[in-house]
Structure 1
């Protein structure tokens, strides 16, 4: 099952696509089915309901009351969820090696720490936009880049999670585009404190368009991923190439730290999933499409004011 968040009829609605043109409004469908529930008022409510929320959505999809249908052309996509916390990892070796070369490193071998444990940073959870929204070029940057990533949404509270338990803590999988200001990032890198303005600006993080529930895929996931800019294929790969899978990631992050429903954790960019690796860069007006098998295509345009 795929779930998304859209704005329609003056309110936020949780929907599931029946096909490319028609979505089921789950809150309206629940009302028509006489469910006494607020589960589908927003995605966080669905996440908080856990397995019960998914079961209700499944039943409503099976009935698919036509009075709850929405025309896809009439909605505005939102991020599936506003993360309660946002972390992004770096777990694809080809991506890291390619970027180290692009940054001028004489030896592009990843540091031993990268092999020993998942590395991550915490980003701006309030900067997320959804499918088809415009990315606004930040004033201080000249070199912007797109990044193709798989992300998970945490489904339940947990601490000291074992890798083999990971599947039980994943609400779903979605596409993450972690837009990067490469010139700002290069200025920051010598400080060895992680990305700041290289990543943090309004509209700089994108999620969507759908959340794929974990019953639809095996764990660890092996999904094909592709990046296109203005219709031209730039690169891509497969999520099976993650050096640390989401089980290892959840185990590491949750060590002596509680994770909460609604947190978003990105995989980091797949190999050849960004322009830096390919000696390409974005220009104002470019449209980029990030496609991940079974989830869909996340499409956005970048706009430079003035």
Structure 2
């Protein structure tokens, strides 16, 4: 099933996608059906509810009550979940090679993929409070001139765990969503010379976009092999398939959870798919641009970038 979070009449509601611009308010549907409404207070409540919460959600969808249906024009999308923790990886080799070639032209410095990249997943921890949802505006940071999109597949962790093996890891994936890690490339180029990782190149309000839906993990066999495409103002910039990840999400979970606990509601991004950003193809965003990032089975995440 595809689940999301929307704002309706001033309150956030967990909804299930019914198609044709219809969605089911799961909390209201549970109230009408005499089911456990507590499962649907927010997306984290659904996750903590485990298989029972999803079973109840499916039964509510199967018997969708007209009294609990919301129409697309009545709601505003929010991020389907505000991450408990947010990490972003870099596991697509094509993206890294293309980006290094572009960075060399911009800076005059040569870049090579370090051996560690092939040996283990690399990632950083981002700002979990900067997330916005589908159709919300991204605000251009005042210090940047070169803004870019990043088309990524994200997983949502479904249960607590530590020292998780690759064999066990897929069971910790609760769902998948679309992530747009909007990036200030000029700021990123400067700060990466400090060899600590991205900072203001990634960290600004509205700089992370998630949604519009989370598709539950039962819909996506592991390892995920989903088609991914990025469009800006209707023009296709690029894309690929999540099967091109050098490190699978199972390997990523194994690596991150080594001597560190993962918690339900954490969001982990794949990093940008090859040709999934403007840097790789010599393009940059302009104020007012609309970008649409699509991933098979999940849908399309659409936003506009504006100067405040």
Q: CA deviation at 1:217?
A: 1.4
Could you list the runs of 5+ residues in structure 2 that have no partner in the other structure? Answer: none
Q: CA deviation at 1:108?
A: 4.9
Question: 4+ residue runs of structure 1 moved beyond 2 angstroms?
Answer: 105-109
Segment of structure 1 superposing worse, 264-273 or 39-48:
39-48
Q: CA deviation at 1:20?
A: 2.9
Q: CA deviation at 1:51?
A: 1.4
Normalising by the residue count of structure 1, what TM-score does the alignment of the two structures yield? 0.98
Helix, strand or coil: the match of 2:171?
helix
What RMSD, in angstroms, separates the aligned Cα atoms of the two structures?
1.0
Contact 2:103 / 2:109 at 8 angstroms: preserved in 1?
Answer: no
Helix, strand or coil: the match of 1:272?
coil
Write the distance in 2 (CA, Å) between the matches of 1:50 and 1:19: 24
Q: How do 1:229-244 and structure 2 match up within 5 A? A: 229-244=232-247
Write the distance in 1 (CA, Å) between the matches of 2:84 and 2:198: 20
Could you list the runs of 5+ residues in structure 1 that have no partner in the other structure? Answer: none
Quickly say closer, same or farther: Cα 1:198–1:106, change in 2 above 3 A.
closer
Q: CA deviation at 1:49?
A: 1.1
Contact 2:95 / 2:272 at 8 angstroms: preserved in 1?
Answer: yes
Aligned to 2:156: 153
Q: CA deviation at 1:52?
A: 1.5
Contact 1:98 / 1:108 at 8 angstroms: preserved in 2?
Answer: no
Normalising by the residue count of structure 2, what TM-score does the alignment of the two structures yield? 0.97
Aligned to 2:76: 76
Helix, strand or coil: the match of 1:194?
coil
Q: Deviations over 1:28-77 (max 9, x none)?
A: 11001011331101101101111111111111111111111101111000
Aligned to 2:187: 184
Aligned to 1:14: 14
Q: What is the number of equivalent residue pairs in this alignment?
A: 305
Segment of structure 1 superposing worse, 119-128 or 35-44:
35-44
Aligned to 2:253: 250
Q: How do 1:1-306 and structure 2 match up within 5 A? A: 1-104=1-104, 108-305=111-308
